[in-house]
A = this chain, B = another copy of it.
Amino acid sequence: MKLNTKSRYAVMALADMSKFPLNNPVSLRDISLRQSISLLYLEQIFFRLKKNDIVKSVRGTNGGYVLKRDPKNIKLSEIFKALDQRVKTVGCKKESKKGCNGKSAKCITHELWDELEIYINNFFENKKLSDLLSTEERIN
């Protein structure tokens, strides 16, 4: 069970942006250098963040990305959703509605995975981007 780099980098990059004045565009190039994340990969990530209304872009010289909302109002769950990251128990659920292929035995653990999914989503639902920021400021 592991987190992929896409969502991990997304959170890192957005946390990085949050440290700067909010309406000031931050270029991916700068984030790339500061966070040691490939620029090309960041572009891919921000394409999705933009599509999901988390950031907006400013083109041209001195352009970059700007957070669409205050970090206080950006839940980590939104970021994960933007990158198609969710908890999956795999199998079991997708192929059927109720009894998992009709074989009732197959679903002994069905409720468990549902519960886990809700539990984890809950973690991200209750975390804001601003929560990371204050942690960071405490450290430095």
Measured CB to CB, the closest approach of chain B to A100, in angstroms, equals 9
Contact B88 A16 (CB under 8 A): no
Contact B112 A5 (CB under 8 A): no
Segment at the interface with B among A40-48, A49-57, A59-67, A116-124: A116-124
Known contacts A3-B1, A35-B106; is A112 also within 8 Å of B127 by CB?
yes
Please give, as numbers and ranges, the residues of chain B lying within 8 Å of A96 by CB-CB distance: none
Contact A2 B88 (CB under 8 A): yes
Interface residues on A, range: 35 or more
Please give, as numbers and ranges, the residues of chain B lying within 8 Å of A113 by CB-CB distance: 3, 8
Enumerate A63-105 residues with CB–CB distance to B below 8 Å: 85-92, 101, 103-105
CA distance A136 to B119 in the complex (A): 20
Please give, as numbers and ranges, the residues of chain B lying within 8 Å of A111 by CB-CB distance: 135
Known contacts A113-B3, A120-B1; is A36 also within 8 Å of B91 by CB?
no
A residues contacting B by CB (< 8 A) are: 1-5, 8, 11-12, 15-16, 34-36, 85-92, 101, 103-109, 111-113, 116, 119-120, 123, 127, 132, 135-136, 139-140
